[in-house]
Amino acid sequence: QVQLVESGGGSVQSGGSLRLSCRVSGFSVSSRCIGWFHQAPGKEREAVATIFTEAESTYLADSVEGRFTISQDNAENTLYLQMNRLKSDDTGVYYCAARLVDDRWCGPAEFMYRTWGQGTQVTVSS
């Protein structure tokens, strides 16, 4: 059974750090396109970072360049998002999402992802 379970969200002051985790079951985290999406209050969900290890593909949104890092632990079958120097604009729900189709695309278009976790809330206060 395919499942994505996020954890690690919470409340932090501006400038602080958090690490989000996405525990994957039902497929190997390195064998598919997988990533993190952010939905700010009242806004549409947008890609933050994606990775497809076997296709040697990564994407990182300009807004988080130099602050966020996406990584994965193949032994734990877990995806991570290390978030540093957090800003109030980073507040929102963070979702883990994956593409289980047999192609090598791994871009930021949200509608191309059909498998989603339940999300984890991040609140950054100034």
- At 55 the pLDDT is 87
Q: Which residue carries 């109030």 as its tokens? A: 88
Question: Residue 44 and residue 70: Cα distance in Å, rounded?
Answer: 21
> What confidence tens digit (pLDDT) does each residue in 72-87 have?
999 999 999 999 999 9
DSSP three-state, residue 89: helix
Q: pLDDT digit string (tens) for 99-116? A: 999 899 999 999 999 999
Per-residue pLDDT of 29-63, as tens digits, reads 999 999 999 999 999 999 999 999 988 999 999 99
Hunting for tokens 């206060």 — which residue is that? 125
Candidates 21, 29, 10; CA nearest to 100 is: 29
